[in-house]
Amino acid sequence: MISRRDFLAAGAALASVGGVRRAAAAQAITQAQLLEFAPLGQVTLLHITDLHAQLLPMNFREPSVNIGVGEAGGRPPHLTDAAFRKFFAIADRSPEAFALTSDDFVALAREYGRMGGLDRIATLVAAIRAERGADRVALLDGGDTWQGSWTALQTKGGDMAACMALLKPDAMVGHFEFTYGQDRLQELAKAQAFPFLASNILDEWKEPVFPDRRMMVRGGVKIAVIGQAFPFTPIANPRWLMPDWNFGIQEELLRANVAAARAEGASVVVLLSHNGYDVDRKLAGRVAGIDVILSAHTHDAMPRPELIGTTLLVASGCYGKFLTRIDLDVQGGKIAGWRHRLIPVFADAITPDPTMAAEIARHRAPYLADLGRVLGRTQGVLYRRGNLAGTFDDLICDAMLAERDAEIALSPGFRWGASLLPGQDITAEDVYAATAITYPACYRTSMTGAQLHDVLEDVADNLFNPDPYYQQGGEMARLGGVGYRLDPNAAMGRRITDMVLLRTGAPLDPTRSYRVAGWASINQTVEGPPIWDVVSAHLRANPEIRPTDRSNVKLVGA
């Protein structure tokens, strides 16, 4: 009979073997494997997007809830976890499963390590350029690049602009870049060696503010890259930061730019877009002549392109987790074949580019002491990405309820912000990564139950309108202190029901005024402490965070 001692020893041995296997699985991912690609044709397009100023590797949990409405219902990218893996034939617990879905996130994050890092991306880009020849490669940046970190906020995007310049992109577009204000954006854009494109932005005289396209030759092929900034920037973000510019989808301008590019001899027309995936899917079916749409804004990562007619729709994720490569074979003035790979940027498998690493260190050095301040510790996963809720958003709402003496907290449905694992310290940098915007005031106001309902209905329509051209992206506003039912497929004004004040369980009174705290107001005269100070104060008073699934939003009909 086996003794208890032998049994425990055997168990320890098996655990050790499991640990070795996990380490081996992680080490089996090599830089060479990540770069494996059978070259095709004359042209290579590389696409990165939605970095949100993250220079270092990090963890970022993909959504477990990503609701599609109308024609998008039940279609990628509105599939998650097991359904997503089944659709794309991704093995459970594989590196790709970790990178692209949220199941087993903690265990797989510990197994495969962090992702991203601009010095790792620089290594991959340099390797592909060396393999193909730089004259065959176009690197395109989909925007939301210069905003999202403390160092970017303090330098007004200067650190990111300097680091990205080392990558030598061929063009970029924008969204949150505009929140630095139109003067600063013009200053940064003019300082780049590559164009900041925006075919859909006009000034008060209806003249283009930025170049609409860039013509280039790669592999002997003439390529037009047309830029599309986020069309709803003055609605989703403060209008007063870009008062003289008019945005929009601007289909007619886009058609004119496609026609002009073809007239100038372009064999390949690429739309470098920050519209959001569903908007780009609709646009691809309405604007002829676009060969490739490189989509951004909604942070979707798609293992293969979607073919809309003859247009390839490509999505490359966010936070530096992925680099897209797509090779094009161009014959007779049109695309005869293509090959694609969404390259996961597993940080531990990639040798950092020393020049980029040094540049990153130089920009971070003045802020390191502040960034490294430990504010607390989490005993569960702190994440943000998801249509309805996120545990990091719960932390922000709890902070506002406590520090601003509020009954209800209202927080924007931003997608950016690193994910933290159980047992991990919460540093000032982590808080900044979820809150670093140019309009951070944490206000305190009064709202009736009816007003709050109207706010939520408006946000829900921006997210779940069945017509993609009326969707502004983002996620549902996060609420602290209130629960409700959401039917994404209901008509406008009927999506939000059964609103309840959680501390009492009583229905929200449409006529009663409630004390509400919020942040990221698009109004110019808002007053209050910056949200990062509010969250930091809350963490000092409550340093041990135990996130739970509060389920304060009951989803129906989806």
pLDDT tens sequence across 495-551? 999 999 999 999 999 999 999 999 999 999 999 999 999 999 999 999 999 998 877
Higher pLDDT, 370 or 474: 370
Indicate whether 187 belongs to any domain: yes
Indicate whether 329 belongs to any domain: yes
Per-residue pLDDT for 13 more than 50? no
Whether residues 395 and 358 share a domain: the answer is no
Whether residues 343 and 381 share a domain: the answer is no
By residue count, the chain amounts to 558
Whether residues 175 and 311 share a domain: the answer is yes
Paired tokens of 89? 């034939």
Residue 1 has a pLDDT of 31
Q: Give how far the C-alpha of residue 49 lies from the chain's centroid of Cα atoms, to the nearest Å.
A: 8
pTM of the model: 0.94
Q: Among positive and negative, which fits the CA dihedral 407, 412, 417, 421?
A: positive
Which residue bears the tokens 């380490």?
23
Higher pLDDT, 8 or 147: 147
Whether the Cβ atoms of residue 273 and residue 228 lie closer than 8 Å to each other: yes
Whether residues 324 and 461 share a domain: the answer is no
Give the pLDDT mean for 27-45.
95
Query: Angle at CA 312, nearest 5°, toward 308 and 316?
Result: 120
Whether residues 507 and 380 share a domain: the answer is yes
Whether residues 277 and 418 share a domain: the answer is no
Q: How far apart are CA 252 and CA 521, in angstroms?
A: 32
The residue from 341, 362, 383 where one domain ends is 362
Give the pLDDT mean for 25-30.
74
Which residue bears the tokens 């577009």?
173
Residue 328 has a pLDDT of 98
211: confidence class by pLDDT, cuts 50, 70, 90: very high
Per-residue pLDDT for 6 more than 70? no
Per-residue pLDDT for 18 more than 70? no
Q: How far apart are CA 143 and CA 51, in angstroms?
A: 8
Residue 262 has a pLDDT of 98
Give the pLDDT mean for 212-221.
98
pLDDT tens sequence across 375-418? 999 999 999 999 999 999 999 999 999 999 999 999 999 999 99
Domain containing residue 482: CATH number: 3.90.780.10
Residue 16 has a pLDDT of 31
Whether residues 349 and 427 share a domain: the answer is no
Indicate whether 207 belongs to any domain: yes
Whether residues 405 and 499 share a domain: the answer is yes
Q: How far apart are CA 397 and CA 73, in angstroms?
A: 30
Residue 167 has a pLDDT of 98
Q: Is 208 helix (H, G, I), strand (E, B) or coil?
A: strand
Q: How far apart are CA 547 and CA 551, in angstroms?
A: 12
Indicate whether 43 belongs to any domain: yes
User: In percent, how much of the chain has pLDDT > 70?
Assistant: 95
Whether residues 281 and 400 share a domain: the answer is no
Give the pLDDT mean for 96-100.
98
Q: What is the largest CA-CA distance in the chain?
A: 90
pLDDT tens sequence across 323-336? 999 999 999 999 99
Give the pLDDT mean for 105-110.
97
Find the helix or strand (DSSP H, E) in which 11 lies: helix 4-27
Pairing relation of β-strands 374-378 and 544-545?
parallel
- The total of other beta-carbon atoms located within 10 Å of residue 470's CB is 13
Indicate whether 228 belongs to any domain: yes
Whether residues 293 and 404 share a domain: the answer is no
Indicate whether 255 belongs to any domain: yes
Give the pLDDT mean for 87-95.
97
Q: What share of the chain is helix, strand, coil (3-state, %, to 5)?
A: 35, 25, 40
Per-residue pLDDT for 555 more than 50? yes
The closest of 396, 398, 441, 435 to 417, measured between CA atoms, is 435
Domain membership of residue 159 as a residue range: 38-58+114-362
Domain count, the chain: 2
The residue from 317, 339, 362 where one domain ends is 362
Residue 26 has a pLDDT of 52
Beta bridge partners, 294, equal 272, 314
Indicate whether 95 belongs to any domain: no
Give the pLDDT mean for 351-366.
98
Q: How far apart are CA 527 and CA 261, in angstroms?
A: 47
Residue 20 has a pLDDT of 34
pLDDT tens sequence across 49-71? 999 999 999 999 999 999 999 99
Mean residue pLDDT across the chain: 94
Indicate whether 128 belongs to any domain: yes
Q: Is 230 helix (H, G, I), strand (E, B) or coil?
A: coil
27: confidence class by pLDDT, cuts 50, 70, 90: low
Domain containing residue 237: CATH number: 3.60.21.10
Give the pLDDT mean for 454-483.
93
Whether residues 219 and 271 share a domain: the answer is yes
Residue 10 has a pLDDT of 32
Which residue bears the tokens 């006009």?
202
Whether residues 158 and 207 share a domain: the answer is yes
The residue from 331, 362, 393 where one domain ends is 362
